[in-house]
Amino acid sequence: MITRHDLLDWLKSVDSKLSQKMMIVAVGGTALTLLGLKESTRDVDFCISKEYFAEFKKAAVSERFVVDLFQEGYIFAVQLPKDYTEKAETVHFSGKRLLLKTLSVEDIILTKTARFNNRDIEDIKAVVASRKVELKDLRKRFLQILETYAGREEDYTYHFDLVMKIFFGEK
């Protein structure tokens, strides 16, 4: 398992190999671990712009853990709205080239909602237990994502309804 300390040490190494400044956005368990909402993660997941993707990918090679990279806010079947980086939370990091962010709590919940396996359910539970989630914002964001969802919309909507019922008592 990969701890927050492991992630930050590895990112310092990656940072030292980069030739230019760039922003990376942690997603999934990586985001939760960096936010201190989860003790560790199984793999490393980041979203990065197409412009910096190749350089970051080359610098981010790791023999210790699996690194999954996504481009332009497209995470599995979820295409996040263009403002996902603006809504993302900045993580204090001592690197010179990397601006490190995590998805917003709403975007974490909604990307976890798409797959909605047992691990995703536990992750959503951790977010809801530790952070204030504005239901109005969550619903609005869900509808934005649903417009571009690449999977079965019926499944995503069903999962979202379950999240609203289980975690927020909504019907």
Q: What is the pLDDT of residue 67?
A: 97
3-state class of 56 per DSSP? helix
Domain boundary among 77, 104, 131: 104
Domains in the chain: how many in total?
2
- Examine the fold and report which residue of 104, 127, 150 is the final residue of a domain before the chain moves on: 104
Note whether 51 and 96 are same-domain residues.
yes
Residue 41 structural domain: 2-104
**Whether residue 96 sits in one domain with residue 34:** yes
pLDDT at 14: 98
For residues 141 and 107, is the Cβ–Cβ distance under 8 A? yes
**123 plus 41 within the same structural domain:** no
Q: Which one-letter DSSP state was computed for residue 24? A: E
Give the residue from 67, 88, 104 where a domain finishes.
104
Same-domain check for residues 70 and 136: no
Residues 98 and 114 in one domain: no
3-state SS assignment for residue 95: coil
Residues 26 and 87 in one domain: yes
Report pLDDT for 171.
73
- What stretches in the chain show pLDDT beneath 70? none
